[in-house]
Each structure stands twice: as structure tokens, then as C-alpha cells.
Amino acid sequence: MNNKKDYNYLLSDLTKLKGVGNKIANLLKRKKINTIFDLLWKLPKSYTDRSISSKIKDLKIGDIQTINVVPYRYNFPRIRNLPNKVVCKDETGNLDCIFFNSYEGYIKKILPIGKQVTISGKISFFRNKYQITNPKYISKESSLIKTKHNKYSLTEGISEKLYNKIIKQIISNLPKLEEWHNKKILKNFNYISWYESINELHKPENIGKYKTSFYERLAFDEIFSSYLVHSEIRKKIRKFKKKSKKFDLNKQKDFISKLNFKLTNDQRFTLEEINKDLISNQKMFRLLQGDVGSGKTIVALISAFNVINSGFQVAFMAPTEILARQHFFLAKKLFSSLINIEFLSSKSEYKDRKKTLNNLKNNKLDIIFGTHSIFQKKVEFSNLGLIIIDEQHKFGVNQRKKLSDKGGNNCDVLLMSATPIPRTLTMTIYGDMDLSIIKEKPKSRKEVKTYTKLESKVDDVINFIKKEIKVGNQVFWVCPLIDESKKIDNASAILKYNFLKKIFPNKVALLHGKTDTSEKELILDDFLKKKYDIMVSTTIIEVGIDFPNANIIIIENANKFGLSQLHQLRGRVGRGNKQSTCILMFKSSLTENAKQRLRILKNSNDGFKISEEDMKLRGYGDILGFKQSGLKTFRLADPVMNEKLFNLAENEIKRIENNNEDISKFKTLMKLYDQADIINDIV
């Protein structure tokens, strides 16, 4: 058996199929259906049963029915725009087949006089006679029609008849691939093969049967293939032998003792994990994941301190300039004159930029802070030993791998994310990295008090924030829309800004996705310096920046957001030692689901628990409230419904890794399910 030939067929262009030309192929590609394999996952939503034939006298108006008839008279009017008609009969009565926009020659070919044919279509009644208008299914061979025809969510321009024909063609040519799983795994699915599973998946009677062996087998395949690719990336990264970092832990101890707060147990444990990676001869590729306000940054900076004390340089990158500057100022405050620190951005003056780049190249700088600009080709490091990237959720697997490669063999990589994710998705999203998690919050941090408030009670909210502003606190006011919409009844940031600036003149700022980048940085900086008391914005403030005086956040139309996103937004306050408040505003008509989401948020400040609940309520496709580039979109698998399959896949990967098993038998699986450039280097 030639598996390569078989999977090459499945990965072939759609034009390899009979009846699929460039026009049809392009229509499918618009729906991200690029190969024959992709079409296998375009599943039927329901089906029409054409298997039972009826007599004309028993036809039911409005139903789709199948009948055997004999055409006996044509009626082709000479008057333009009138329909063509073929009168047909069986032993019980007559029926008219009506055709609009069909040529005489075509009609005579499909409905020859005196020859029995099978017709299927929707039955109507006109002038005391049964009719079928433009019947979709006509054939001299009844077996081609007397079957169950699947109904699909159709791509515009492609008929149901053609779709069925294409899918049947693929199924009839489906290769019997060599089994890649062992018997112990197959036992979980009653030993059903991939070939048998695909066939069962497309049978009309199996639509919606998600708890069957064939469905779970296929769902497991795509979970497992994803885990395999991540596992191989981890192995490849570990093959790089690097120069281990040698540093004095007494210096770390001395540095920590001078902090004006105590590290949590989670922070200490995470620091030990990172240090273990740094002193090893294997390259570190680790994600530091923690809930909002859990203290990831200080752990990253202590790690940087250790790397610098071992004679290497550090690059610390953040997605925005203001966040990068915030980390820069914190580092200057913590490290004082201990190490040489500098900031680099696209806005840096030419003279300063040139000096900074020269110092980096000549090893006169220990740590550089900045945005992605610090990884431009012109930026040269003398001895880069650690890359730290904050808010890494913008990076997918391919980008992370390229980043790891860029630093060279001696450069460790530490990524940070403040986005907690459900347990079942950890391996799916971050399986290519080692993972450190900080759940524990500093004891000095007070939990944000969360309240719900009817939109009609906005005057109560205004009076509340007036009192808060008087005692020096600042306010975030978040709206889901930038501008007013006629289609969506959601709050607009611009309208709310205009409303609030009349009450608080010269004290309100506005920020949204259309704000120019340089203006955005200026507005945020002014808010940080307390030039404004209220920041009206869309959700763009949800990640990253630390505003210690912002103690109040008001979120309008809170029921329209996912739980995880609301938690991220709430995390913009409560960064200092003062009591903070989150007010969730909503309209009076709430669904039970929306009420449940708001209850969960009011009762918990645990981001990991909230993300689990969010996924159960909303599904895994948008658990973060925004598209996460690293999140794999599964065709069948669902982390809520198939939790046991995710756990099974994780355990099987660990077993393979521990036994150092040859994974060449999984080559076909990975080629089919994870058609990424990464695997070309692996299998």
C-alpha cells in the first residue's frame, strides 16, 4: 500500500475531481476548502429521503417526492417567456413537469416520450393537476435517485445536486490508509478504521451522532495530530545545545530581599523552573502564563537579571510602546545602577538610536526594551542570551518557532501571557512550549468588587464616579462600539464621550481602534499622568497597561461580551493597593445565559475558572472574546464535549515521548491534518 500516493490524492487540488473546474474550485476556496481532504469535513446538515417512490394519485402537495412516470406529450410554446411542459403519467394519473429556461433538446433528452423515468422534486397543484417545477433529479436509472440525498450548507453558486455528486465521488475513491494508531488506542473506538469512520460520517442516518465511535475516532485524530506537531517542535528545540548560563543565586536572593513586597509561592516556583532552564544546556522555550495582576513581570525581570549576571544580554519586547516603556521604567526603578538599560522604538531620535544600537553591538548595554522594532535586521546584539515577549497571544505556532530560531542557539526565549485558558486547550495552543503558570495573586492585592447595574440607572453611576474622582481615582468607561449603529443596539464610545465631557469638562479622553497609533500612545500617556480622570474606550484597553490610579471600570452592554473578555477588562483596575470596582451595565431584557455569565463574573476573580465556564457557555471558538492566532480551529473536536479525548491524546503523547518512540508511522496523519511548513522539517 502506498500511503504517500493515497494522501497526495487527498491533498490534491479540487480540480482533480470530475465535474470541478476552476470556477467551482474558486467558489469552494472562498470558503477555505482548498483540497479534496478539506471537502471531507463539509458535513451534511440534514437529508431528503428520495428512496421511497409514490403513485401520482398518492402525491402530497408541498412534499419532496419520488415517482416513476412515462412522458407522453411535449408542450413547447412559441410565445417567449412561457414555460415548457412535459405531460407524464403512470397507471394512476397524470403529472406535468414544468421547465423554465430549459431548451427543447435538453428536455427531450432527459424525458424521452414513451420511456419510463424516475423523477424527484417538490409537488405542487395547478389547475386540478399535480406539477413538479424544474425537477432537480431525473434519471432513467431509478437507483441513482431512490436514495437519501444529503443537504449541505451550500456555497453560493453550487447546487445541492452537484455537492452530493462531488462528495460521493470522493467517498467512492477514498483510500484505505494504513492504520497509524496502536490497538490500545483503537480499543477506545471499537477498532474502527479511518476509512470506515469517514464513510460512516457521511451517511445521512448518522447526521449529528457525536457520541459514536466513528465520530470520536476522527475527532481524536485531529487532536492527536496537533499534539504530535507540538511535541516534535519541542524535541527539535531541545536538540539545540547551548552555552548554559552560570549565575550566583545569592545575587538573586539579595535582589529579592530589597523588594518592597514578598513573592508569592507561585512566583518563586516559576522562577525556579526558569532558572533550571537557563542553567541547562538545552534551549529554553517557555511560556509564563498568569492571571491578570498575578505578577508575571517581576518574575521575568528577575530572570533577566540572572541572565545579565551570567554575561549575556536581554531583549524585552511588548506589543505597544507605552507598555514597553512601562516595563522599561519599572526595570530602571528596580535595578537602579546595577545594570545598563535602554529603550528603543521607531520614534527614537536618530542620534539616540544610533548610540543605542552601537552600545548594543559593543556589549555596553545589558537589556533593551522596545516594541517589535528591536528585532529588525539593523539591530545587532553582541551576546543575546534571553528574549522576553509580553502579551504573546498575538503569536501563532509558526511565528513562535521563527522567533526561537532568530535568537540563535545560545538564546533562551520566555513568552508571557495574561490570558488564562481552559485546561483542555493548554496543549492545543501552547503544546510547543514548556509552561509555567502563576495563579496565586499577591496578598496585598484586593479583589475587584463587581456589581451589575441597569442601563437606565446611569445617573447613579455618574454620582458614584464623581465621588471617586474627588479622592484621586480614575475611571475606565468601556463601550462595545466606536460609533452609533442602526443595526446593533449597543453603546457607542463616541456618543458616551460626548455625553460625559459635558458633565466632566476637560476631564474625559476618548480611545478606540481607529485612533491613530501615535495619538493613542499620547492619550494613554496623558491618562497615566492624570491629565484626564475618565478614559472612554472600546475593548482595546483590555490587555497589558498598568494604571495604578484607575480604580473604577464601567463596562456597557456587559452581556454582549464573553466571560474571559470581561475578566480581562476588569483586570485593568485593581493594580494598586486601593479597593477597586467594576460595574457591569446591561439592558433590562437579559437572556438566562447572559444572566448566568454575569453571575459567574460577580462571584469569581479566578481567570482560569472563568475561562473554563466561558468555554462551556460559549464554545471554544471565541473563548478570549477575540480571535487568537495561536488557537487551532478543529473541524470535529470540541474541548467541552470531547474532554476525555484531549486527555487521552495528552497521555499518549507523554507515553511516546517517554519511550522515545519513532513517529514515522504518524507521517500520513500529520501531513493530512496539520498541513503546515513546520512538519516538513520534522517528518
Q: Which of 385-394, 461-470, 613-622 has the highest mean pLDDT?
A: 461-470
238-285 pLDDT tens trace: 777 888 999 889 999 999 998 888 999 999 999 999 999 999 998 888
Instruction: Provide the pLDDT for residue 568.
Output: 82
Give mean pLDDT, residues 634-639. 84
Q: Does the pLDDT value for residue 486 go beyond 60?
A: no
For residues 488 and 503, the model is more confident at 503
What is the C-alpha to C-alpha distance for residues 611 and 600, in angstroms, rounded to an integer? 11
Indicate the SS3 state at residue 97.
Answer: strand
Query: How, if at all, do strands 117-126 and 129-133 pair?
Result: antiparallel
634-641: long-range contacts at Cβ-Cβ below 8 A with a sequence spacing of 24 or more?
A: 634/219, 634/222, 634/223, 635/41, 635/222, 636/41, 636/215, 636/218, 636/219, 636/222, 637/219, 637/220, 637/222, 637/223, 638/219, 639/422, 639/424, 639/425, 639/428, 639/615, 640/424, 640/615, 640/616, 641/210
pLDDT averaged over every residue in the chain: 83
Helix (H) or strand (E) holding 323: helix 321-335
Instruction: Provide the pLDDT for residue 98.
Output: 92
Q: Which of 100-104, 307-311, 399-403 has the highest mean pLDDT?
A: 307-311
Helix (H) or strand (E) holding 493: helix 493-503
**Residue 377 grid coordinates:** 535586521
Half-sphere exposure of 357 (CA within 13 A, CB side): 17
Provide the edge-to-edge strand list for the sheet that holds 474-478: 449-454, 581-586, 550-555, 474-478, 534-537, 508-511
What is the C-alpha to C-alpha distance for residues 23 and 157, in angstroms, rounded to an integer? 9
- Model confidence band, residue 237 (pLDDT cutoffs 50, 70, 90): confident
- Model confidence band, residue 418 (pLDDT cutoffs 50, 70, 90): confident
Report the candidate in 478, 602, 594, 597 with the shortest Cα–Cα distance to residue 543.
Answer: 478
Report the candidate in 132, 137, 165 with the shortest Cα–Cα distance to residue 50.
Answer: 137
What is the C-alpha to C-alpha distance for residues 397 and 545, in angstroms, rounded to an integer? 25
What is the C-alpha to C-alpha distance for residues 585 and 213, in angstroms, rounded to an integer? 45
How far out from the chain centre does Cα 510 lie?
Answer: 29
Instruction: Provide the pLDDT for residue 622.
Output: 47
Indicate the SS3 state at residue 348.
Answer: coil
CB-based contact 569:553 (threshold 8 Å): yes
Instruction: Provide the pLDDT for residue 132.
Output: 93
How many CB atoms neighbour CB 95 within 10 A? 21
Strands (E) across 523-623 are located at 534-537, 550-555, 581-586
| Share of residues in the chain with pLDDT > 70 (%) | 89
User: Which one-letter DSSP state was computed for residue 157?
Assistant: T
**Residue 76 grid coordinates:** 413547447
In sequence order, what DSSP letters do the residues of 538-554 get, joined into one string?
-GGGSSS---TTEEEEE
Instruction: Provide the pLDDT for residue 683.
Output: 46
Report the candidate in 75, 78, 58, 76 with the shortest Cα–Cα distance to residue 67.
Answer: 58
**Residue 311 grid coordinates:** 554575561
Dihedral sign of CA atoms 25, 28, 30, 34 in order: negative
What is the C-alpha to C-alpha distance for residues 298 and 302, in angstroms, rounded to an integer? 6
Report the candidate in 9, 177, 201, 40 with the shortest Cα–Cα distance to residue 667.
Answer: 177
**Residue 78 grid coordinates:** 412559441
CB-based contact 640:615 (threshold 8 Å): yes
User: Which one-letter DSSP state was computed for residue 506?
Assistant: T
Give mean pLDDT, residues 183-188. 96
Instruction: Provide the pLDDT for residue 398.
Output: 59
Give mean pLDDT, residues 33-55. 82
| Alpha-carbon distance values, 65 to 46, 54, 235 (Å) | 16, 7, 59
What is the C-alpha to C-alpha distance for residues 566 and 303, in angstroms, rounded to an integer? 31
Query: How, if at all, do strands 367-370 and 313-317 pair?
Result: parallel
156-165 pLDDT tens trace: 777 777 888 8
Q: φ and ψ at 471, to 5 degrees?
A: -95, 15
**Residue 343 grid coordinates:** 529603550
Give mean pLDDT, residues 544-549. 72
Query: How, if at all, do strands 367-370 and 285-290 pair?
Result: unpaired
654-670 pLDDT tens trace: 999 999 888 888 988 88
Range in 110-114, 193-197, 524-528 the model is least confident about: 524-528
Instruction: Provide the pLDDT for residue 588.
Output: 75
CB-based contact 473:547 (threshold 8 Å): no
What is the C-alpha to C-alpha distance for residues 57 and 388, in angstroms, rounded to an integer? 78
Instruction: Provide the pLDDT for residue 192.
Output: 96
496-520 pLDDT tens trace: 889 999 999 989 998 887 777 678 7
Instruction: Provide the pLDDT for residue 402.
Output: 61
Looking up cell 447613579 gives: 460
328-367 pLDDT tens trace: 888 998 887 789 999 987 777 778 888 888 888 888 899 9
Instruction: Provide the pLDDT for residue 612.
Output: 79
CB-based contact 55:49 (threshold 8 Å): no
Q: Does the pLDDT value for residue 488 go beyond 60?
A: no
Dihedral sign of CA atoms 601, 607, 613, 619 in order: positive
CB-based contact 411:264 (threshold 8 Å): no
Instruction: Provide the pLDDT for residue 322.
Output: 76
Q: Amino acid letter at 561?
A: F
CB-based contact 444:577 (threshold 8 Å): yes
Report the candidate in 652, 621, 619, 633 with the shortest Cα–Cα distance to residue 224.
Answer: 652
pTM over 0.85: no
Q: Does the pLDDT value for residue 403 go beyond 70?
A: no
How many CB atoms neighbour CB 519 within 10 A? 10
Q: Does the pLDDT value for residue 676 go beyond 60?
A: no
| Share of residues in the chain with pLDDT > 90 (%) | 29
